[in-house]
Amino acid sequence: KRTGILSNPGYQALNQTGWSGSVDSTGWRKAVISLDNTLAPLTPEQRSRMRFRIAFSSPVDSSFAATEEGFAFDNFRIGQRNRIVLLESFTNAGGPNTPDEPNKTANAAINTFAEGLVGELIKVEYHLGLGGPGDDPLYKDNPVDANARAAFYGITYTPYALIDGKYGQSLTQSFNSQSLKPAEAVIDTIITSGSTGGPYNVDVTFTANTDLPPGTALHVVIVEKVITASGPNGETAFKYVMKKMLPTARGTLFNDGVPAGEARTVSVSCYPHAYDPSNLAVIAFLQHEETGEVYQARLLDTPQYIPTGVITGIEPTLADRVRIYPVPANDALHVNLPTAMREPVTCRLFDAFGREIAVDSYPVGERTLTFDTARFANGMYVLQFETPGEPTSRKKIMIVH
């Protein structure tokens, strides 16, 4: 879309706005324009008397003018926008406490941008362990999912932001472009449920508007709308922070795609960690696992059910009570439970990018597992413990050869 078009189609005296290009070629081109600014000052009666006009012109030196090949319009549509745009922000609060610290200034700008687009844009904030020199306290809450999401996009620094998984050069320009595209799906409902002491259940139903290709995944994200905490860079408030991605950071994959008009329901559950459980919300979005394209998103800002047994980080988790040796590990890592469990315990090992590289289980009554670590590279890893009746918990380990 451009203004001040030289050939001035329609002979507009002011505000010449439309589309133009310098390449003479045949083929269909897609053009979309927002009517928000046009409709905003009009009364309902005035809107009912609006007239839409399409005009075309070309300079005399154009091949169109020379050959008189002509011009055509097709598939003209005036409709209501149905796409909710997803903004993913990657940040780190461990930087120096200076007025112009990049993550701090970027977060302020992104929050202002998102708050001006309520109902049209959904923001989710991931905290990474990149940067420093201090530690980001929110990154420590769930490094596995945050690292996996960063690895999916190949992000190696913060701050970093993406619109619908692909666009981030200009948030305003990217939003304007994406919001005008018809959504490939509708996320019909997000329903939460649970009981005291039990898991937090989330059921998401969506319907495909177009054929969703193989490799489409539904991601469910538990977020905390506001977290009051102190970062080394001086930030004290963080908004829509990712707490858990369900069932994992990879989402629920539809290997065969979803045909247009068909609905699917995904049910996931977890024991969420939260600073304030009343601030929990749920985000769901559909994304292709290879292209990164986001097809639709939805926010449940006020869940029907809020868990009361949320882990705040103060209570000791299973990971806090296990004994791990040697530290650091070389050829083998031994993981001892504090006591024999009455339920099976699954232990997963993730690398620094959130990729699962090993998994094993403690049979009922057993206390010790041993991982062969000789084949793993030097670095930081995360052990994740899963057992019925307790929240998922994690512990960092080092491997050094």
CATH of residue 214's domain is 2.60.40.10
pLDDT digits (tens, 9 = 90+) for 79-114: 778 999 999 999 999 999 999 999 999 999 999 999
**Maximum mean pLDDT: which of 38-52, 143-157, 318-332:** 143-157
Taking residues 40-61, what's their average pLDDT? 78
243 and 124 co-located in one domain: yes
State which amino acid sits at residue 49: R
Residue 312 inside a domain? The answer is no
The answer on 342 and 363 residing in a single domain is yes
Residues 59 and 103 in one domain: no
Question: Same domain, yes or no, for 333 and 372?
Answer: yes
Secondary-structure breakdown of the chain: helix, strand, coil percentages, each rounded to the nearest 5: 15, 35, 50
* 153 domain-assigned: yes
Last residue of a domain, one of 240, 271, 300: 300
Peptide bond before 247: cis, by omega within 30 degrees of 0? yes
Whether 145 and 259 share a structural domain: yes
Quick one: 170 and 256 in the same domain? yes
64 versus 50: the higher-pLDDT residue is 50
**Strand 160-163 relative to strand 356-362, pairing:** unpaired
CATH number at residue 332: 2.60.40.3080
Among the listed residues 43, 5, 47, the one whose alpha carbon sits nearest the alpha carbon of residue 22: 5
On whether both 257 and 336 belong to a single domain, the answer is no
Domain of 233, in residue numbers = 85-300
Asked, for residue 293, whether it belongs to a domain, the answer is yes
Please determine, for residue 308, whether its predicted confidence score (pLDDT) is greater than 80.
Answer: no
Angle among Cα 237, 238, 239 to the nearest 5 degrees reads 125
Last residue of a domain, one of 79, 97, 116: 79
- Decide if 262 contacts 254 (C-beta within 8 A): no
Q: Is residue 219 domain-shared with residue 157, that is, in the same domain? A: yes
Q: Are residues 220 and 262 in the same domain?
A: yes
- Find the mean pLDDT for residues 62-71: 59
pLDDT band at 25 (very low <50, low <70, confident <90, very high): low
Instruction: Indicate the number of domains in the chain.
Output: 3
3-state secondary structure of 150: helix
Q: Report whether pLDDT(190) > 60.
A: yes
Identify whether residues 222 and 368 lie together within a single domain.
Answer: no
pLDDT at 254 over 90: yes
Looking at the domain assignment, is residue 313 inside a domain?
no
Residue 95 confidence (pLDDT): 93
Domain boundary among 53, 79, 105: 79
Neighbours of 345 (CB within 10 A): 23
> Residues 63, 206: one domain?
no
Q: Provide the token pair at 151.
A: 């690895």
pLDDT at 328 over 70: yes
Residue-level pLDDT at 36: 77
**Is residue 253 one of the residues assigned to a domain?**
yes
- Considering the chain, what percentage of its residues have pLDDT values greater than 70? 88
Give CA–CA dist 131/158, Å, rounded.
7
Q: Is 343 a member of any domain?
A: yes
149 burial (CB, 10 Å; 0-12 / 13-18 / 19+) is: buried
Strands 294-300 and 280-288: antiparallel
DSSP 377: P
Confidence of residue 314 (pLDDT cuts 50, 70, 90): very low
User: Is 30 among the domain residues?
Assistant: yes
238 shares a domain with 90: yes
Q: Give the residue-averaged pLDDT of 366-380.
A: 89
Q: Is residue 20 part of a domain?
A: yes
